[in-house]
Structure 1
């Protein structure tokens, strides 16, 4: 049995539970239970505060954990990064009042900075030769400049709406963050086997994200040009149709490039273009 530490609430909790569900690992979503066992996979889920996850994995209370990179950097625990999961993306940034004339990082010399991430901030200040007074706050860091507690803040930024609502502006991005799967260094062979199966499932889920399965009918004479346009995983599948001179072409497209490619396909004579989402993709 493998034990994974997961954030007990918030966006990272939601994204993690969605990932487990898409990987067909069935876990009760009740937030009142500290430890829950999956019904169809040898996995126990331990729900913790996000800042407790790195230590729980390092100490062996949990075998693995999903945690924000911001907390991984701040805690500095001796755990290994097993995978970057690509969700819950944000950044750790310095922000100040909109009215202030900002002249660059050295503006923070002699200033007071409120933060919940003193270790990450201290490292940044040292690297840039800045001497500032760090005020450690747990909670609503963004209100600090407005009540005169600090000249600026160092905090998580996602959309930036919280900064705007508190009359702040982002002036320096110190580091980017995403969800990490971290692990204890001393997993036995049985737990490694379970972990490898989980990583395989996670990879299949991530590979399918933002991908579309596309099928179309096309004149046989246009197939060579159509194949040049299609950026398939290896090469498109081409199947002759009952109607002489026509083929069915199947491929996988990245959603970001979908519309520009579809327009080219139509110009080459493709018809009956069918687009379907991909749930899993094994590479």
Structure 2
């Protein structure tokens, strides 16, 4: 039986979040300590644990069919590789930063300066588009120390919370791109593997939709029912059930977690009571 071969990062936060979403898709992986490859017990899936920077080449060569990888890595090493889903985790920025002591007034600061980075292709493309000429020092790891030891005038690196920049007396001055984990696909994926991917992607979409939604139950006075229903976006239309108490109905709906508090405030203002909010594990459309 054919299996879908998926690459995920060998270790780190992306590894943990990747395994979590696979688990939430109802797929059980037989993981052993320091394994480089593992199989699922209940889905035709084979997991390869690889170095993040190597994954684009494995996709390009068809060694793996798909991968969960940071979009920033694809921009740097795999612009020819397509992705089919944004996964909503491992969000970060790829940014330029300089010493806090520097006065920064624009991109011209970097003209004829030195930049240390692990993302040379990303930096070159961005600065070339801006007409800025720089010297790039390729560093793998600990990029943020470069300005402090006189190796470079600035750096380009991943920024999540900004705490690493702060600790090294650096400040973010330009954002080159924003990134998150994506589901990337090999250009050599077979028809059989694509059929399995379609099933996996259906499950992933259901998990992501559940993560981004809340199930809301509330009590509404019947004379305010139409106004309250108009506030609720819902999937199609909310479920309305009569309560034992005359003049009241129970309303059930789904709302986006991003709009959640604004909608709740509006519901209360229109007379909704007893509002109950529940998480959604999965949402099959």
Q: Same fold (TM over 0.5)?
A: yes
Q: CA RMSD in A?
A: 1.5
Unaligned runs of 5+ in 2: none
* Corresponding residue for residue 245 of structure 2: 243
Whether the aligned pair in 2 keeps the contact of 1:235 and 1:251 (CA below 8 Å) is yes
* Corresponding residue for residue 19 of structure 1: 21
What is the DSSP-based 3-state SS (H/G/I as helix, E as strand, rest coil) of the residue aligned with 1:250?
strand
* Corresponding residue for residue 96 of structure 2: 94
- Deviation track 1:140-179 (CA, whole Å, cap 9, x = no partner) reads 0001111111110011111111000000001111111111
Worse overlay, 238-247 or 201-210: 238-247
- Deviation track 1:74-99 (CA, whole Å, cap 9, x = no partner) reads 11364222222222111111100001
* Corresponding residue for residue 197 of structure 1: 199
What is the DSSP-based 3-state SS (H/G/I as helix, E as strand, rest coil) of the residue aligned with 2:234?
coil
The whole-number CA distance in structure 1 between the counterparts of 2:138 and 2:219 is 62
Q: Which of 217, 221, 224 is the matching residue for 1:215?
A: 217
Q: Which of 133, 138, 141 is the matching residue for 1:139?
A: 141
Worse overlay, 268-277 or 59-68: 268-277
Closer/same/farther in 2, CA of residues 266 and 127 from structure 1, 3 Å limit: closer
The whole-number CA distance in structure 2 between the counterparts of 1:131 and 1:266 is 57
Whether the aligned pair in 1 keeps the contact of 2:212 and 2:258 (CA below 8 Å) is yes
* Corresponding residue for residue 187 of structure 2: 185
The whole-number CA distance in structure 2 between the counterparts of 1:115 and 1:274 is 49
Correspondence 1:166-185 to 2 at 5 A: 166-185=168-187
* Corresponding residue for residue 41 of structure 1: 43
* Corresponding residue for residue 32 of structure 1: 34
What is the DSSP-based 3-state SS (H/G/I as helix, E as strand, rest coil) of the residue aligned with 1:24?
coil
* Corresponding residue for residue 6 of structure 1: 8
Shift in Å, 1:278: 0.4
* Corresponding residue for residue 263 of structure 1: 265
The whole-number CA distance in structure 2 between the counterparts of 1:43 and 1:155 is 33
- Deviation track 1:189-218 (CA, whole Å, cap 9, x = no partner) reads 221111000000010011112321111222
Q: Which of 219, 223, 226 is the matching residue for 1:224?
A: 226
The whole-number CA distance in structure 2 between the counterparts of 1:77 and 1:226 is 47
* Corresponding residue for residue 106 of structure 2: 104
Shift in Å, 1:29: 4.4
Whether the aligned pair in 1 keeps the contact of 2:61 and 2:188 (CA below 8 Å) is no
Closer/same/farther in 2, CA of residues 166 and 57 from structure 1, 3 Å limit: same
The whole-number CA distance in structure 2 between the counterparts of 1:28 and 1:8 is 15
The whole-number CA distance in structure 1 between the counterparts of 2:271 and 2:110 is 61
Unaligned runs of 5+ in 1: none
- Deviation track 1:219-257 (CA, whole Å, cap 9, x = no partner) reads 222211111121212211111223332211101122233
Shift in Å, 1:31: 4.8
The whole-number CA distance in structure 1 between the counterparts of 2:246 and 2:127 is 71
* Corresponding residue for residue 275 of structure 1: 277
* Corresponding residue for residue 120 of structure 1: 122
The whole-number CA distance in structure 1 between the counterparts of 2:117 and 2:222 is 63
* Corresponding residue for residue 159 of structure 1: 161
Whether the aligned pair in 2 keeps the contact of 1:54 and 1:77 (CA below 8 Å) is no
Aligned residues: 283
Shift in Å, 1:109: 1.1
